[in-house]
């Protein structure tokens, strides 16, 4: 029984125009296992699962579910078969409660909405799974981790025997990931089979019983957890590319010795920012960042790191204290004045704050530089030819996969969008780069690229303020790490004395 296949996709092919997304892929999942689907961004993981879920139809190939050949023309059909999918981005209606979201789209009674009855059912399901969440609070008030649980419960409520999780950890913090793992084990015990899509080797090794590795639309290998290790998986994922990885399966990038500048580039002096309903603010934060160093800021999300990033570009939000760039106070300056002082910024949420989705790559490259001498005449007319040149340079130097700089940026993949955002930071010469979670959601080769770029920036004598929620990443290429907890700067560690345990403890207030 245990070794029977629940689902099998046989010789599946799917092309979008001239791009072959999946080429003769055969993929099978046994009953009651957590099966990882591992690959870089754009390797075909999501396409494969969208075929299984009925969002795309394959050009060729068959699907077998519980031993029978099936056709899945739409998600209705996959739900009917017992396939549930939790997408990478939340698909819940923010204004609805958990209960309303879960029963949405199912058939209720003819004329009434049996909320109370169904709520009991939902409670039952979540109790079996050992998860708890408020059923009567609007979903928009809840955290990403809880929203994900609601989506999982929704799939189970609809009778899912097979649950597909598409990059489920993208918006989770480490502790939420551990909780998710627990829930998955409970699910397994109740008889549900799970497909776990990820680009993170570490997670695949922690979560999955078996892993199928995809690369450029082809299956590279199927590995059992007992018989594999991260080196093997990296090799399968990246064949021709040589990527060295650390203990935690992150790219290993060297941090050569580098001479710090005599004077700091960025100084924060007793900076206080008022907290609000949703933000903790900053309390009396002081530190310096020198040219030729990367200062990492470690904090659990919601401990003031957002405000810290914010005040470097909007210093007028500082209530008390001072902020200096190259010895000059920029307090009360507008963002463009800050940029004029050779500072640039890449935001945490790249889609929401980083790009103009409908705008071309060229228009996006110009953003933030549009008041600089190179790109403007008489402070009125944009020099579009220069903007085009800058965009072409970024596309070339950062290996952005696009036919032209006129393409709307929303049509690029996440990794390529981030390359444009990072590339934009270096369009004008800078002394300070402030970057917030630049690697989140990206595959290991793009992460390696970004690490190298940060080190290169530091080696050239610029200062880098790197706010990041992943401590493992910070430890690889930071010269120093400062810990932010509840809006206060706890301690700054020098590279020689990095200690994951100590830093991690300080991050949670220990």
Partner 1 sequence: MKKSVKRTESSIIIRNVFAYFISVLLALGVMSVIILLFGFNVSKVLKTLLTASFRTSFGFQETIKKTIPLIFTTFAFTLPFKIKFFNTGGWGQMLFGATMVAVTGLFLSNSGITLPTYIIIPLLIIVGILAGGFFGLIAGFLTAKYNINPIISTIMLNFVGVQFLNFIATNSYFKDPLEGHPITLPLPKSATLGFFGGIPHSIIFAVVSVLFVYILIKKTRLGYEINAIGYNLDAAKTYGINFPRIIMLTFFIAGALGGLAGTFEVMNIHKKLVEGFALTSGAQYGTFGILTSLIVAGNPIGVPFSAFLMSVLLVGADALQRTMQVPVELVFLSQALIVLFIVIIRQRFERGR
Using rule CB under 8 A, residue 356 touches partner 1: yes
Of residues 303 through 342, those in contact with partner 1 by CB under 8 A are 313, 334-336, 338-339
State the minimum distance, in angstroms, from the CB of residue 406 to partner 1: 6
Query: What number of other Cβ atoms are within 10 A of residue 377's Cβ?
Result: 10
User: In the structure encoding, which two tokens stand for residue 374, read together?
Assistant: 């190179």
**383 vs 413 by CB, closer to partner 1:** 383
Token reading at 293: 């160093």
Looking at 48-56, 225-233, 370-378, 485-493, which segment touches partner 1 (CB under 8 A)?
Answer: 370-378
| Subset of 378-417 contacting partner 1 (CB under 8 A) | 379-382, 384, 403-404, 406
In angstroms, what is the minimal distance from the CB of 78 to partner 1? 24
- Residue span binding partner 1 (CB under 8 A) among the ranges 43-51, 259-267, 323-331, 377-385: 377-385
Q: Which of 226, 358, 385, 496 binds partner 1 (CB under 8 A)?
A: 358
CB of 259 to partner 1, least distance (A): 32
CA distance to 116, 217, 229, 245, per residue, from 220 (Å): 49, 9, 15, 19
Tokens 């309390």, residue?
Answer: 283
CB nearer partner 1, residue 168 or residue 347: 347
Q: Which of 54, 58, 368, 415 binds partner 1 (CB under 8 A)?
A: 368
Whole-angstrom Cα distance, residue 473 to residue 470?
6
Q: What is the rounded distance in angstroms from the CA atom of residue 243 to the CA atom of residue 237?
A: 10
Q: Can residue 373 be called a binding residue for partner 1 (CB under 8 A)?
A: no
SS (H, E, C) 282-294: EEEEEEEEECCEE
89 binds partner 1 (CB under 8 A): no
Which residues lie below 8 Å from residue 218, measured CB to CB, with a gap of 6+?
23, 24, 25, 44
Beta carbons of 267 and 261 less than 8 angstroms apart: no
CA 281 to chain centroid, in Å, comes to 24
Residue closer to partner 1, measured from CB, 91 or 404: 404
- DSSP-derived letter for residue 317 is G
Nearer to partner 1, 185 or 388 (CB): 388
Contact (Cβ atoms closer than 8 angstroms) between residue 5 and residue 64: yes
Nearer to partner 1 by Cβ, of 101 and 437: the residue is 437
Tell me which residue of 498, 65, 483 sits closest to 287, measured CA to CA.
483
Give least dist CB 454 to partner 1, A.
20
CB of 272 to partner 1, least distance (A): 22
Which conformational region is residue 326 in: left (phi greater than 0), alpha (psi within -120 to 50 degrees), or beta? left
> How far apart, in whole angstroms, are the C-alpha atoms of residue 237 and residue 298?
29
Residue in 315, 347, 415, 487 binding partner 1, rule: CB under 8 A: 347
By CB under 8 A, residue 359 contacts partner 1: yes
Q: Using CB under 8 A as the criterion, which residues of the chain lie in contact with partner 1 when the complex forms?
A: 313, 334-336, 338-339, 345, 347, 352-359, 363, 366-368, 370-371, 376, 379-382, 384, 403-404, 406
């Amino acid at each position: 029984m245990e070794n029977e296949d629940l689902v099998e996709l046989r010789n599946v092919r799917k092309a979008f125009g001239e791009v072959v997304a999946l080429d003769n892929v055969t993929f099978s999942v046994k009953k009651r296992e957590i099966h990882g689907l591992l690959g870089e961004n754009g390797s075909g993981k999501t396409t494969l699962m969208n075929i299984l879920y009925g969002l795309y139809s394959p050009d060729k190939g068959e699907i077998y579910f519980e031993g029978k050949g099936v056709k899945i023309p739409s998600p209705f059909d996959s739900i009917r078969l017992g396939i549930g999918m939790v997408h990478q981005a939340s698909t819940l209606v923010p204004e609805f409660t958990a209960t309303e979201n879960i029963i949405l789209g199912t058939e209720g009674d003819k004329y009434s909405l049996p909320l109370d009855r169904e709520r009991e059912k939902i409670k039952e399901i979540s109790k079996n799974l050992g998860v708890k969440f408020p059923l009567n609070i609007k979903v928009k008030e809840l955290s990403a981790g809880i929203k994900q649980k609601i989506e999982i419960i929704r799939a189970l409520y609809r009778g899912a025997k097979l649950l597909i999780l598409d990059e489920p950890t993208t918006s989770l913090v480490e502790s939420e990931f551990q909780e998710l793992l627990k829930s998955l084990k409970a699910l397994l015990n109740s008889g549900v089979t799970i497909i776990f899509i990820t680009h993170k080797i570490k997670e695949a090794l922690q979560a999955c019983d078996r892993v199928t590795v995809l690369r450029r639309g082809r299956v590279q290998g199927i590995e059992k957890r007992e018989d594999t290790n991260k080196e093997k998986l990296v090799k399968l994922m990246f064949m021709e590319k040589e990527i060295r990885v650390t203990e935690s399966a992150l790219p290993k990038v060297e941090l050569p010795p580098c001479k710090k500048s005599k004077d700091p580039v960025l100084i924060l002096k007793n900076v206080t920012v008022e907290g609000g309903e949703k933000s903790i603010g900053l309390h009396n934060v002081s530190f310096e960042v020198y040219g030729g160093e990367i200062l990492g800021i470690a904090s659990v999300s919601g401990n003031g790191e957002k405000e810290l990033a914010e005040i470097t570009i909007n210093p007028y939000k500082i209530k008390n204290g001072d902020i200096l760039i190259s010895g000059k106070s920029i307090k009360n300056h507008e963002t463009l004045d800050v940029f004029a002082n050779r500072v640039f910024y890449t935001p945490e949420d790249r889609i929401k704050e980083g790009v103009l989705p409908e705008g071309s790559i060229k228009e996006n490259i110009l953003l933030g530089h549009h008041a600089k001498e190179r790109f403007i005449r008489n402070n009125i007319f944009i020099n579009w030819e220069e903007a085009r040149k800058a965009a072409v340079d970024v596309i070339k130097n950062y290996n952005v996969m696009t036919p032209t700089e006129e393409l709307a940026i929303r049509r690029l993949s996440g990794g390529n969008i981030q390359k444009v955002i990072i590339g934009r930071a270096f369009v004008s010469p800078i002394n300070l780069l402030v970057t917030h979670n630049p690697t989140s959601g990206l595959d290991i080769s793009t992460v390696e690229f970004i690490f190298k770029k940060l080190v290169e920036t530091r080696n050239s004598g610029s200062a880098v303020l790197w706010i990041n929620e992943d401590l493992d990443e910070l430890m690889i290429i930071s010269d120093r790490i400062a810990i932010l907890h509840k809006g206060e700067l706890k301690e700054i560690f020098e590279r020689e004395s990095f200690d994951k345990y100590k830093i991690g403890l300080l991050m949670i207030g220990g």
